[in-house]
Amino acid sequence: MATQSQIGQTYNYMDEFFRATYGQHADCTAAMYNGTHSQTLEEAQHAKHQYILTQLGIAAGHRVLDVGCGWGPVLHSLRQHGAEGVGITLSTRQAEACRKNGLNAHIADWKYIDPSSLGTFDGIVSVGAFEHFCSKEEFLEGKQAEIYKRFFTFCHSLLRPGGRFYLQTMTWGRNAPSVAEISLRAKKASNGYIVALAEKFYPGSWLPRDESQITESARACFNVVASNSGRLDYMQTIKHWNQRLKVTTSNSVALFSTLRYFLIDRNLRFKLMSLVRGCQYKCFEREIMDHRRVVLEKIDSSGS
C-alpha cells in the first residue's frame, strides 16, 4: 500500500494549488456527466455526489465513513444533506484543509484502525483511494487479493445490517502493458512509458486487474447492486481540469509554494511531466486503464 510519505509526496505538494484552482473542497476524482458533456465540472461533480447519496440511501442524521476523503468534497455534500461524515486520509494537508472547513477528518490508515473505535455507519464511501491500497511490490508478492479482502472485511464490520458501500476506482484496462513493459526507458509514445510516468505521480500504487477482481474479493462480505464504467466521464473530467490548469492571480502564490519540493522530491519533474503530457488521459483514451463505480450491499452474518 502507498505509505503516508508517498501519499504526501503526491497530494501535499499540490495542496494549495489544487484548492486555489478547483476550490476548497477540491474533487480530484472523476465526475459523472450522465451521458451528456454539456454540464460544467461543478454540475458533474454534484451529480456524482447526489448519485452516491442516493445509491447509499443516505438521509439526514445518517452517519457515513469516507475512506480516502481527500479535501472533503463528499464530506461537504454529506453535511449539506444533513448527514454526519467521518473522513480518513493519509495526507496531512488534506486533513488540515478539511478541518479548517469544519469537516470531521482524521489522518489514519484503515489497515491499522480498530473498527470498534469508529462505531457503526449507515454507509461507506471510497472515491479514488482503492487504487492506492496495493503497492507494486505487494502485487508482485501475490498479496493483492489478500489486501482487498481485508479491506472489504474492515468495511463490513463497520456497516449496519443492510448498509451500502460506494466504491469508485481506476482499474487496469484491456490494453494494459505487462509489468516488464513498464519503464521510463521504453519508447516515449508506448503504453509502457506512459504508465511508468503515471507511476511517478502515484508512487506505491498498483491498480486492481479489473472489476471482477474487486467483486471476487468482496463476495464474502457484499453483494453488488449497481455497477458502471466512468472511463469516458474521467476523460471529460480531465479535459475540464486542463482548462483550469493555468496560472492566475489567485493560484500563482500557491504554485510558487510547490517549487521547494524540487529540493526534496527527486521524482517531482516526472510528476510534472505526467501532468503536462496528459498521461492519465492517454491511459483512459487507449484503454490502458478503466474506471469503475460499484455499489455494494452488506451481506448479513448468516450469509443470506
pLDDT tens series, the chain, 304 aa: 555 555 555 555 554 555 455 555 578 899 999 878 889 999 999 999 999 999 999 999 999 999 999 999 999 999 999 999 999 999 888 899 899 999 999 999 999 999 999 999 999 999 999 999 999 999 999 999 999 999 999 999 999 999 999 999 999 999 999 999 999 999 988 999 999 988 877 778 999 999 999 999 999 999 999 999 999 999 999 888 887 765 454 544 445 455 555 445 555 554 554 454 478 899 999 999 999 999 999 998 754 4
Decide: 2 and 90 in contact? Cβ < 8 Å: yes
pTM: 0.86
The enclosing H or E element of 42 equals helix 41-56
Question: CA-CA distance, 228 to 205, in Å (whole number)?
Answer: 23
CA distances from 173 to 103, 111, 145 (A): 35, 27, 18
Topology annotation, domain 4-293: Rossmann fold (3.40.50)
Residue with grid cell 455499489, as numbered in its chain: 295
Cα separation, 52 vs 46, in Å, equals 10
Write the single-letter amino acid at 129. Answer: A
Residue corresponding to grid cell 480518513: 88
By the 8 A CB rule, do 11 and 91 touch?
Answer: yes
Give every strand in the sheet of 105-107, ordered side by side.
105-107, 84-89, 63-67, 121-127, 159-172, 289-298, 222-229
